[in-house]
Structure 1
């Protein structure tokens, strides 16, 4: 059985630094809708695909983005935290279009940081705003806390976006100071 070899761009042009791997059923039209870009712009920025009407699963396309995806950044402690505290934020394409930020951290229970009962993760995008979600724990001690933040398709992670994790008091509605933080830079997302 003959299998088409994936077509991979040598490099992506400015403004189209993200990468998307074609899956069965994808067309230039559906991919253009996901990234809210004109089909013509998608075709022009992917010259390694000679016929935009013919895509194969595994082909890699250059898509709009100020940083290449997928990417990740380390979340480092802010201030005094217990030994072994740390985590990562992983930025990728969301399952329903747009982008998603997955956060996974090792932290003690939120009560260690004061009168708190939960943790939240948040991405702060310069000039756009912030998006967050509650983190959920695994049963280990100390637990691994995780969550995924799905961004609206109109929002895009840009360089110098910050990812922070902070404790939260769900009864009082108060946030604590960040205990972990990472900055997404164009250079560390490759």
Structure 2
């Protein structure tokens, strides 16, 4: 009886830091659903599997590094900022499916950093791209600025994703340097 030799990747690319062992009944589709990644991304990052339609139990695939969520990470101040500036990013299930990143920060008025009138929050996912949204202020002084960035279902937060908060000029459509930043790590949020 012929037995298929297990196919093992030499190494996994950035963002695909985990490994998954195929079990009977697995397909690229079901594995992509399980890890919330596009089938094409799974195929491209597993070149040792020449035909994604043919998997064998025991094959080992590179899969996105796992970021357990919900989880939080602290946003650290960058550069010279007023005392009391700080924030958090919360990675969680989005209300419309997929993942979301909620940002909450205590910040001075944006004009403290120059000719800016708003703040934006942004998540940069290695190998995927960046997603951003405007932050909105509460009425207290200093205000708490917050927003939720809903990721498209094809995108997932991976290890080493960066969360940034920057001042923004809405008339000129220009951003300032980040005033807060956090990194989401594999295995745990900090």
- TM-score, length-scaled by structure 1: 0.67
Moved over 6 A (4+): none
> 1:65 Cα deviation (Å)?
6.7
> 1:156 Cα deviation (Å)?
0.4
Structure 2 unmatched runs, 5+: 1-17, 21-28, 36-63
**Take 1:77 and 1:86, find their aligned partners in 2: how far apart are those partners?**
6
Match of 1:174 in 2: 174
CA-to-aligned-CA distance 1:125-156 (integer Å, 9 cap, x gap): 00000000000000011000000000000000
CA-to-aligned-CA distance 1:40-66 (integer Å, 9 cap, x gap): xxxxxxxxxxxxxxxxxxxxxxxx872
Does 2:134 match 1:117? Answer: no
**Structure 2 counterparts to residues 123-142 of structure 1, below 5 A:** 123-142=123-142
Match of 2:70 in 1: 70
Does 2:33 match 1:36? Answer: yes
> 1:186 Cα deviation (Å)?
1.6
- TM-score, length-scaled by structure 2: 0.67
Structure 1 unmatched runs, 5+: 1-13, 17-31, 39-63
Pairwise CA RMSD of aligned residues? 2.2
CA-to-aligned-CA distance 1:3-48 (integer Å, 9 cap, x gap): xxxxxxxxxxx669xxxxxxxxxxxxxxx99x8349xxxxxxxxxx
- CA gap 1:74/1:101 in 2 versus in 1, 3 angstroms: same
Match of 1:97 in 2: 97
